[in-house]
Each structure stands twice: as structure tokens, then as C-alpha cells.
């Protein structure tokens, strides 16, 4: 599998997880490698928070405002109407977090080499 294939499979898995998280349904990220699991869980939570407008007893779509829906109705609506948008949101969240991590590594390395320069 190419890198892009892996990423696109991951995006669709995480989009499903975000929809389930938003609706309080069970999902699991346990099969992901532990290194990406935390990033994936953060991205899922962050996207899930934008998918539902909670108006008390009724559920509305957080992306287009349609509703009210039952839990199942909103699940199906998000899957049918917004799955591509949700995958894109997940993709952004994950790359943003991965990029921040890499950037943090670079900063640590830079700080480390700076320290060596001062140590003579």
C-alpha cells in the first residue's frame, strides 16, 4: 500500500470514529499503532465537537444546521451528506498535529545544538 493509500484509509476510519464520538456511540482506535493513536484520538474529538449542534432534546447537524434528527437519523445524515467534508476535516487535524510534532522535534534539536555551541 502506498503512503497516500494508508492515509486515505486512516481518514475514512477516523471520520467514522468522529461521527460515532459525536453521537455518543462506541468506537475503538485500539488497532492503530500506539504512536498515532493519541493524535488520532485528539483529531477525532476535535472534529466530533463540530458535527452536532446539541439543542437539548433535539439533535441538529453541526455542519449544515438541518434537523431535528434522531441519533440514528443524524448518523445517517452525516455519513450520506458530509462524509467527504468530515474526512477532509480529519485529514487537516491529523496533519496539523503531525506537523506540530515534527516542528517540536526540530525546535528541540535546534535548542540542543545551540547548547553544545555554548559549551566550549
Which residue ranges make up the site for Zn ion (CB under 5 A)?
61, 63-64, 66
Minimum separation from the CB atom of position 21 to Zn ion (A): 17
DSSP letter (8 states) at residue 65: -
Please, which residue, 59 or 61, has the CB nearer to Zn ion? 61
Smaller CB distance to Zn ion: residue 32 or 67? 67
Nearer to Zn ion, 18 or 61 (CB): 61
Other beta carbons less than 10 A from residue 10's beta carbon: 17
Q: Least separation, in Å, of the C-beta of 66 and Zn ion?
A: 5
Q: Largest alpha-carbon pair distance within the chain?
A: 68
What are the residues facing 58 on neighbouring strands?
55
What phi and psi, each to the nearest 5 degrees, are found at residue 47?
Answer: -70, -40
**Least spacing, CB of residue 84 vs Zn ion, in Å:** 12
Amino acid at each position: 500500500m502506498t503512503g497516500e493509500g494508508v492515509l486515505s484509509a486512516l481518514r475514512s476510519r477516523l471520520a467514522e470514529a468522529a461521527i460515532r464520538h459525536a453521537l455518543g456511540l462506541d468506537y475503538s482506535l485500539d488497532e492503530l499503532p500506539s504512536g498515532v493513536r493519541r493524535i488520532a484520538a485528539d483529531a477525532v474529538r476535535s472534529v466530533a465537537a463540530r458535527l452536532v449542534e446539541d439543542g437539548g432534546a433535539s439533535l441538529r447537524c453541526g455542519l449544515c444546521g438541518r434537523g431535528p434528527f434522531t441519533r440514528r437519523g443524524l448518523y445517517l445524515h452525516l455519513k450520506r451528506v458530509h462524509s467527504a467534508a468530515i474526512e477532509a476535516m480529519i485529514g487537516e487535524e491529523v496533519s496539523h498535529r503531525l506537523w506540530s510534532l515534527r516542528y517540536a522535534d526540530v525546535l528541540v534539536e535546534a535548542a540542543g545544538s545551540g547548547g553544545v555551541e555554548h559549551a566550549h
